[in-house]
Chain A
């Protein structure tokens, strides 16, 4: 995350640079994505004003703004502090993934039990 930008600017930056969208239009896309997971209120917050979970979602949305078809999430239990259950996170990822990108979560085998019976396929 870029610390001198707010969450909206962080997300919008990708479309502004790669798709040359005007700032307002790019930020409208960002707000729309944040609204999907009821986080539009953090749009104007800076990095230090957000929880690790909020920062995680913003990072995922930002990755979804890029053209790449595959998104890697590495050790979410490390990225999100005090994360007990992954199901709500996975549900929100499904909500955000309108473009049907491949989301690959890389985690340690010790966290395997957290993913059992959830919305993802486990590959060892």
Chain B
């Protein structure tokens, strides 16, 4: 009984580390292909353009609306709290840090995960179950070059560009709230932001967006690839993929906070 218990724990631990090793191997393989010029063939470029359109362009109206709604409310709360605690002198850096470093990339990553991450996971899982991936292999078409790389790159491009858009909208909303709470005019607000924004803020925004974009596509792709050979396995694959993706997003967020606090 005790022996079986330890065997079970041992098996689970081995499986866990093996799956991490496999995932790392897959990530490394994708990164290697990303820097190889031969990966960028006409078919891949066409898929990349389509993916960027589906992921970044198609979502713009909804995204702008969400950015206005959530961005305004959040920045409003932050400004109200800063005023309440007499932090008016720090308001520029508070807004910049909150909008650029924290909320914009995080919210964008969540939205893209929900919309495109699930779609990509399902697409790869269906292709896997239908043996379409085998067809591509039979024709000696590299799956990483043709299927995975365009999706990963589109994730990086989309999350980064939409994060910047989100940050701009959020900073715009910030002006409305500073106008109401502090009676601040536009010129003062602009000067305040210009003084508060540093290269490090922009660098953090870019690095976090790239990291979020990378995992937003990589994890659903990997999860889709691991789907068992049955249609009933597709929802399970999407479910597992999304859970892992959300854990990865939170992990990156926490890691960036830790690194910033050093």
Residues of chain A having any CB pair with chain B under 8 Å? 1-4, 13-14, 16-18, 20-23, 26, 62, 66
- The interface residues of chain B lying within 8 Å CB-to-CB of A14 are 139, 141
Give CA–CA (A18, B145) in the complex, Å.
12
In the complex, which residues 43-72 of chain B have their Cβ closer than 8 Å to any Cβ of chain A?
43, 46
Q: A62-B139, A66-B139 are in contact. List 4 more A-B contacts (CB 8 A).
A: A2-B127, A3-B130, A17-B142, A20-B41
| Complex CA–CA separation, A62 to B136 (angstroms) | 12
**B126 contacts A17, CB within 8 Å?**
no
Instruction: Report how far A79 CA is from B261 CA in the complex, Å.
Output: 63
B interface residues (Cβ-Cβ under 8 A, vs A): 41-43, 46, 123, 126-127, 130, 132, 135-136, 139-142, 145-146
Determine the distance from Cα of A112 to Cα of B46 in the docked complex, in whole angstroms: 44
Say whether B41 contacts A17, CB under 8 Å: yes
Once the chains bind, are B42 and A3 in contact (CB under 8 Å)? no
Distance (whole angstroms) from the CB of B138 to the closest CB of chain A: 9
CB–CB A22/B136 < 8 A = no
Inter-chain CB contacts under 8 Å: number? 41
Q: Which chain A residues lie closer than 8 Å to B43 at the CB level?
A: 13, 16-17, 23
Q: How far is the CA of A18 from the CA of B130 in the complex (A)?
A: 24
CB distance from A123 to the nearest CB of B (A): 24
Contact A2 B41 (CB under 8 A): no
On whether A3 and B126 interact (CB within 8 A), knowing A13-B141, A18-B140, the answer reads: yes
Q: Which residue of chain B is the closest to A62 with respect to CB atoms?
A: B139
- Bound: A18/B127 CA distance, A: 21
Cβ contact of A2, chosen from B42, B46, B135, cutoff 8 A? B135
- Give the chain A neighbours of B46 by CB distance below 8 A: 16, 23
Minimum-distance CB pairs A-B, first 6? A16-B43, A16-B42, A23-B46, A17-B43, A17-B141, A22-B42
Q: Give complex CA distance A13, B139 in Å.
A: 10
Residues of chain B with a CB closer than 8 A to A2's CB: 127, 132, 135-136
**Shortest Cβ gap from A122 to chain B (Å):** 27
In the bound assembly, the distance between CA atoms of A74 and B135 in angstroms comes to: 15
Kindly report which residue of chain B lies nearest to residue A63, judged by CB atoms: B139
CA distance A62 to B146 in the complex (A): 17
Q: How far is the CA of A14 from the CA of B46 in the complex (A)?
A: 14
Pairwise interchain contact B135-A1, C-beta atoms closer than 8 A:
yes
Most buried by A among B42, B136, B142: B42
B141 close to A3 (CB less than 8 A): no
* A62–B141 alpha-carbon span in the complex (Å): 13
**Contacting residues, chain B, for A1 (C-beta < 8 A):** 132, 135
Residues from chain A with a CB closer than 8 A to the CB of B130 are 3
Contact B123 A21 (CB under 8 A): no
B residues in contact with A23, CB < 8 Å: 42-43, 46
A26 B140 Cβ-Cβ under 8 A: no
Point out the residues of chain A lying under 8 angstroms from B146, CB to CB.
13, 17
Closest chain-A Cβ to B31's Cβ sits at a distance in Å of: 21
Chain A: CB-nearest residue to B126: A3
Q: How far is the CA of A26 from the CA of B43 in the complex (A)?
A: 10
Q: Cβ of B123 and Cβ of A4 under 8 Å apart?
A: yes
User: Are B42 and A26 in touch, CB under 8 angstroms?
Assistant: yes
Residues of A within 8 A of B142 (CB): 17
Closest B residue, CB atoms, query A67:
B140
The residue in chain B whose Cβ has the minimal distance to the Cβ of A66 is B139
Q: Given the complex of chains A and B, what is the CA–CA distance between A23 and B145 in angstroms?
A: 16
Residues of A within 8 A of B141 (CB): 13-14, 17
A122, B192: Cα distance in complex, Å? 85
CB atoms of B139 and A21 under 8 A apart: no
Query: Chain B CB within 10 Å — which of A17, A23, A26 has the most?
Result: A17
Shortest distance in angstroms between B238's beta carbon and chain A's nearest beta carbon? 16
